[in-house]
């Protein structure tokens, strides 16, 4: 798992790449990143499965904010990002959410 950030000089946006490595989702058919940047819509941000088995997506997120998110694997397993900037308690569940700061 992991996140990569690329800040743009031309506008106040950060290109954030969310990565779910093959080792974390060996048998997964689909992975979505779900967070407050997409209103926690389970199907709105599917990661693309690469030939290596890794899942990946890049989203443009406005700078100057913190975004909570989690990964949804095969529509029934929630995973946190092992390399998130920080973690915060979920307001709805007895779990933590990953946070990316841009």
16-27 confidence digits (pLDDT tens): 999 999 888 888
pTM of the model: 0.92
For the chain, domain boundaries: 2-101
CATH class name, domain 2-101:
mainly beta
pLDDT digits (tens, 9 = 90+) for 78-95: 999 989 999 999 877 788
pLDDT at 61 over 80: yes
10 Å CB burial of residue 40 (0-12, 13-18, 19+) is middle
Q: Report residue 98 as tokens.
A: 């990953």
In angstroms, the Cα distances linking 68 to 16, 23, 27, 39 are 13, 23, 26, 10
- Tell me: pLDDT of 44 over 80: yes
The overall average pLDDT reported for the chain is: 93
- Predicted confidence at residue 56, as pLDDT, reads 96
pLDDT value at residue 35:
96
Is-contact 32 47, C-beta < 8 A?
A: yes
């Amino acid at each position: 798992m992991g996140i990569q950030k690329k800040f743009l000089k031309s506008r106040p946006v950060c290109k954030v790449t969310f990565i779910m490595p093959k080792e974390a989702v060996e048998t997964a058919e689909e992975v979505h990143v779900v967070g407050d940047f997409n209103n926690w819509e389970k199907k709105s941000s599917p990661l693309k499965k690469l030939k290596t088995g890794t899942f990946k997506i890049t989203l443009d997120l406005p700078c100057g904010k913190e975004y909570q998110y989690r990964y949804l694997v095969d529509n029934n397993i929630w995973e946190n990002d092992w390399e998130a900037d920080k973690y915060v308690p979920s307001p709805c569940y007895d779990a933590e959410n990953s946070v990316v700061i841009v």
